[in-house]
Amino acid sequence: MYRYDEFDHAFVAARVSQFRDQVERRLSGDISEEAFKPLRLMNGVYLQLHAYMLRVAVPYGTLNSRQMRKLGHIARIYDRGYGHFTTRQNIQFNWPALSDIPAILEELAEVEMHAIQTSGNCIRNVTADHFAGAAADEVADPRPYAEILRQWSSVHPEFSYLPRKFKIAVTAAERDRAAIQVHDIGLQLKKDAQGRLGFAVWIGGGQGRTPLLAKKIKDFLPEADLLSYVTAIMRVYNLHGRRDNKFKARIKILVHETGVEKLTQEIDAEWAQLKDGALKLPEADVAAINAYFAPPELAPRAEGWGELAAWQKSDSGFASWVGRNVAPHRHPDYAMVTISLKPIGGIPGDASADQMDAVARLAQEFGHDQIRVTHEQNLVLPHVALADLEPLYRALLTDGLATANAGLITDIIACPGLDYCALANARSIPVAQEISNRFADPARQADIGDLKIKISGCINACGHHHVGHIGILGVEKKGEELYQISLGGSGDENASIGQITGRGFGPDQITDAIETIVATYLANRTGADEPFIDCYRRIGADPFKAALYGSEAQAA
């Protein structure tokens, strides 16, 4: 993974002292809260319902064990013993004291981490495929490009006061695990006919109150032009994005209102002027950044094949964990392991300080010191030998980290909701917990198969409900919490926005409604090999609506 050099260390140290100075000026009254707000946001500090919240960047979701241990330490010393992994591959601490934050930032800097641009109307932490560097289907590792974008966007003088926040995601496989079509810029690393690397470029995706899928504006951008082209997009957006209404300020609205063709022309015209300038990426620089991401030396471990089969036969719990949470690696003797942060009845994405320590230790012992955070709020050990899966599983079991539910109905994404968030209309976490408890039976989950439930506590859609196979949105009606359901959303390469089923359900009805939807799916699927989303796309919303509202509609 990328390692800071002297320049990076000095930069982060300077950023910490800059923030310390800003906090002092705020405390002395030299700056108003209004002027301070964007400054603290640009350093990941939110003011929430009960306390300040600190969001720490995990660039493209990649961590080593030393960094994970530091996060555990921060959770233990400065928070209440927990951290919360988010859908943007970051980690959030919900209870730090404002006065401790400069000290936390200094601790983070020791392990080459920071909170820069995890919030605010600037270019946010760049996200990437969590299987990057290990997946069999990628054309190249996308993270070096995410790293180049991270560096280039850090304290960007022109793009720190954009109309609204700006999110970039990078993937390198046809199978999109980074949800690039719901980002402001989505980049898909690919090869042209001559085998040269470049990007398909998408712009204008986003969720929030106006969910829109991104439009492809370039089929192949040579890698050397990455920064000049992104600069052209940013400049056009900075100058022309709407600033009169914050709900219409994302680039998706500019794309929508200007029209993708006209906007693409403007971007291309700007790019023509920038293309051969200082932003052109020299091959040597791209190679140097790539070298940091060289895969670990993976020794042959063919003995794992036989062992794995034997273990699976003798332990059904292990077998179902392998079936759900272990994915093929590009090296046949290795696997990518998902560590579920969705224990039955737990808070999605939460990890205790002890669990963070355990993951750090296991990554060192079995995982070549590499850890990933997924946008589905789980962790991944990307390079584990098949021969090590059994001891890894045993160790995860003792720390409550072996839930075998990756991709299943209890692998729920939920935003913080009314339990923490000042903007929430409704609670998200208790809804996730109740659904998880209701569907706890592993056999039942396995029978239902792949199903993504995503829950947001308000229309801002932090919980990605628009792209959930089943999306749940908390709304407020006459002082009551109500949950609206949408069906058929998807955040992958076949991205789609879910359709609302009808009127919402109360907190005591929502889990029953999910049961009804699941039962309707089970009754209608062609067989166990037709997953929920395929079945929904085949039969449409009507059978589900009839099941949800039918009898009552007749009674009325």
Partner 1 sequence: MTVIWTQTGIVENDPWTQPSAEDGPKLLPLAEALEHAQDNAPFGVVLQPADDVRALAPVLDRLILVALTFPAFSDGRAFSQAMLLRERLGYKAELRAVGTVLLDQIPLMLRTGFDSFAVEHAPTIQRLIDKRLPGIDLHYQPAADAAAQTPGYSWRRTALLNG
Contact residues for ligand HEM, defined by CB under 6 A = 46, 48, 86-88, 92, 164, 182, 206-208, 250, 415-416, 420-421, 423, 460-462
429 binds ligand SF4 (CB under 6 A): no
Sole binder of partner 1 in the list 99, 273, 316, 551 (CB under 8 A): 273
Residues 80-99 that bind partner 1 (CB under 8 A): none
Sole binder of partner 1 in the list 156, 242, 256, 275 (CB under 8 A): 156
Q: Please answer whether residues 352 and 392 qualify as being in contact, where contact means their C-beta atoms are separated by less than 8 angstroms.
A: no
CB of 165 to ligand SF4, least distance (A): 12
Binding residues with partner 1: total (CB under 8 A) = 44
Sheet holding 334-339, edge to edge: 62-64, 370-373, 379-385, 334-339, 326-328
Q: Please answer whether residues 30 and 23 qualify as being in contact, where contact means their C-beta atoms are separated by less than 8 angstroms.
A: no
Q: Which does 456 bind (CB under 5 to 8 A by kind): partner 1, ligand SF4, ligand HEM, none?
A: ligand SF4
257 binds partner 1 (CB under 8 A): no
468 binds ligand SF4 (CB under 6 A): no
Sole binder of ligand SF4 in the list 87, 94, 378, 456 (CB under 6 A): 456
Total Cβ atoms within 10 A of residue 369: 17
Sheet holding 82-85, edge to edge: 45-47, 52-56, 91-93, 82-85, 350-352
160 binds partner 1 (CB under 8 A): yes
489 binds ligand SF4 (CB under 6 A): no
Q: Which does 38 bind (CB under 5 to 8 A by kind): partner 1, ligand HEM, ligand SF4, none?
A: partner 1
Q: Which does 208 bind (CB under 5 to 8 A by kind): partner 1, ligand HEM, ligand SF4, none?
A: ligand HEM
Amino acid at the residue 62 = T
Contacts of residue 418, defined as CB under 8 A and 6 or more positions apart, other chains included, come to 49, 424, 425, 426, 427, 428, 457, 474, 481
CB of 118 or CB of 403, closer to ligand HEM: 118
Instruction: Spell out a b/e string for 447-478, using b for 16 or more CB atoms within 10 Å of the CB, else e.
Output: ebbebbbbbbbbbbbbbbbbbbbbbbbbbeee
460 binds ligand SF4 (CB under 6 A): yes
Q: What value, to the nearest 5°, has the Cα angle with vertex 108 and ends 2 and 289? A: 10
CB of 238 to partner 1, least distance (A): 5
State the Cα–Cα distance between residues 371 and 48, nearest whole angstrom: 29
CB of 322 to ligand HEM, least distance (A): 28
47 binds partner 1 (CB under 8 A): no
Sole binder of ligand SF4 in the list 44, 59, 198, 457 (CB under 6 A): 457
Three-state secondary structure along 86-99?
CCCCCEEECCCCHH
CB of 247 or CB of 292, closer to ligand HEM: 247
Beta-bridge mates of residue 351: 83
Total Cβ atoms within 10 A of residue 326: 21
96 binds ligand SF4 (CB under 6 A): no
CB of 88 or CB of 469, closer to ligand HEM: 88
Total Cβ atoms within 10 A of residue 3: 8
121 binds partner 1 (CB under 8 A): yes
CB of 127 to partner 1, least distance (A): 19
Residue range at the interface with ligand SF4 (CB under 6 A); choices 114-122, 349-357, 417-425, 518-526: 417-425
Instruction: Spell out a b/e string for 145-170, using b for 16 or more CB atoms within 10 Å of the CB, else e.
Output: bbbbbbbbbbeeeebbebbbbbbbbb
Sole binder of partner 1 in the list 114, 235, 252, 375 (CB under 8 A): 235
Annotate 325-378 with DSSP letters as a single string: HEEE-SSTTEEEEEE-S--TTS-TTEEEHHHHHHHHHHHHHHSTTEEEE-TTS-
Q: Footprint of partner 1 on this chain (CB under 8 A)?
A: 5, 7, 10-11, 14-15, 18, 21-22, 25, 30-31, 35, 38-39, 121, 148, 151-162, 227, 235, 238-239, 243, 273, 277-282, 285, 288-289
